Structure 1
Amino acid sequence: MTIKVLLADDQALVRGAIATLLDLEPDIDVVAEVGRGDEVLAEVRRSMPDVCLLDIEMPGLDGLAVAELLADVEPQCRSLIVTTFSRPGYLRRALDAGVGGFVVKDTPAKELAEAVRRVHAGLRVIDPALATESLTSGPNPLTEREQQVLREALSGVPIAQIAMQVHLTAGTVRNHLSSAIGKTGTSTRAEAALVAQDLGWI
């Protein structure tokens, strides 16, 4: 039986290279490619793939949000994250989103093909080095609200603007930022946001 695959990656060269490598496998057929996260669901419904290979950082919708969406509305299509961002926090968020696997883009072609087969079979595939790092780094200590305000803080906007974006008072935003600064061991909201992003917590 041929495993039908959809590739979602905003880098056309990477997408093309992965498609070429997977198409060399006799039991894998790349049936669709998209460059934006918000194009995945419609394409899944059109081409009916068995497995979606998702990058994390894509325009429109990130790969983790896409995986969560597919798990909710198209559970017959399994998700495999293939990313350059080997951050432990991303792995935890991916598993929470219901992905079948998480590998990095420098995974050898044969291993990537095998990961596709295993995810299609309902098994879970995780990059071993990343799994070890994730276990030793501990869980994401940030609350949902702290993650939300830190994501807004990444752009460097004033607290008043963050408050408007997240529908909270400026005082409440300050409290969340202060807590996040403490949890990340940093001194400013900008540092806290960057550290949290680097660890894959936001």
Structure 2
Amino acid sequence: MIRLLLADDQALVRGALAALLDLESDLTVVAQVGRGDEVVAAALASRADVALLDVEMPGLDGIAAAAALRAQAPGCRSLIVTTFGRPGYLRRALDAGAAGFVVKDTPAEQLADAVRRVHAGLRVVDPDLAVQSLTVGDSPLTDRERDVLRLAEGGDTVAQIARSAFLSEGTVRNYLSAAIGKTGARTRAEAVRLARDNGWL
């Protein structure tokens, strides 16, 4: 029996996934959490074999939760199951140690098969997303450019971003300018949108 942990901040989605996966004779859902920062503790307590992680969750996103699982609960493999099929997310998830990445509209039998394959030590990636990822390529942004863009996403001024990031205003302007150039955007709002759409943030 393959023991599953479900992590998704939407209770309805978690319940639907649990109901579908519990129909499989070799799969059993042993834990459910609604926050990314609860994943490791739940995995350890339930002795889960595979954690199905949403990307966007409070506390810790699914990609960071996959990295935490790899470091603190290596016996539990992670499979990202998300609405947000963005190429940049795929690369970041695999780099963080996720064994698979599928989108939520994957048919139930394919999702169950993905779980089995991840449990068996294989890597599973949504084929359409894999093609997109190869087309888009890796994120061109540095970690600091990404941090500054995340802060800019809320509409903060350069001065506010500088205070939050412990940088000078000139440095913030330089990072924003570099991010705008690298994303091919005309404004910082467009740079944020493009980076978010590609899964680089």
CA shift, 1:170, in A, is 1.1
Deviation at 1:45, TM superposition (A): 1.6
Q: Displacement, 1:95?
A: 0.7
Q: Which residue number in structure 2 is paired with residue 45 of structure 1? A: 44
- Map residues 52-131 of structure 1 onto 2, 5 A cutoff: 52-131=51-130
> Superposition pairs for residues 16-27 of structure 1, below 5 Å?
16-27=15-26
> TM-score normalised to the size of structure 2?
0.98
Alignment RMSD: 0.7
- Paired residue for 1:184? 183
> Can you give the 5+ residue segments of structure 1 that lack an aligned partner in the other structure?
none
C-alpha displacement at 1:51, in angstroms? 0.4
d(CA) in 2 for partners of 1:128, 1:9 = 23
Aligned length: 201
CA distance in 2, matches of 1:98, 1:189: 31
TM-score under structure 1 normalisation? 0.98
Distance 2:164 2:100 in 1: 33
CA distance in 1, matches of 2:100, 2:130: 11
Q: Which amino acid aligns with 2:103?
A: V
Q: Counterpart of 1:34 in structure 2: which amino acid?
A: V
Q: Does residue 147 in structure 1 map to residue 146 in structure 2?
A: yes
Identity of aligned residues (%): 68
How far does residue 41 in structure 1 lie from its aligned partner after superposition? 1.4
Give the Cα–Cα distance (whole angstroms) in 2 for the partners of residues 41 and 76 of structure 1: 11
Paired with 1:186 and 1:129, the residues of 2 have a C-alpha distance of 25
- State the SS of the aligned residue for 2:150: helix
**Structure 1 residue 39, shift from structure 2 partner:** 1.2
Any idea what SS the aligned residue of 2:105 has? coil
Q: Which segments of 5 or more consecutive residues in structure 2 lack a partner in the other structure?
A: none
* Aligned counterparts of 2:97 and 2:160: Cα–Cα separation in 1: 33
Cα distance per residue 1:113-141 (max 9 Å; x no partner): 01001101110000000001101111110
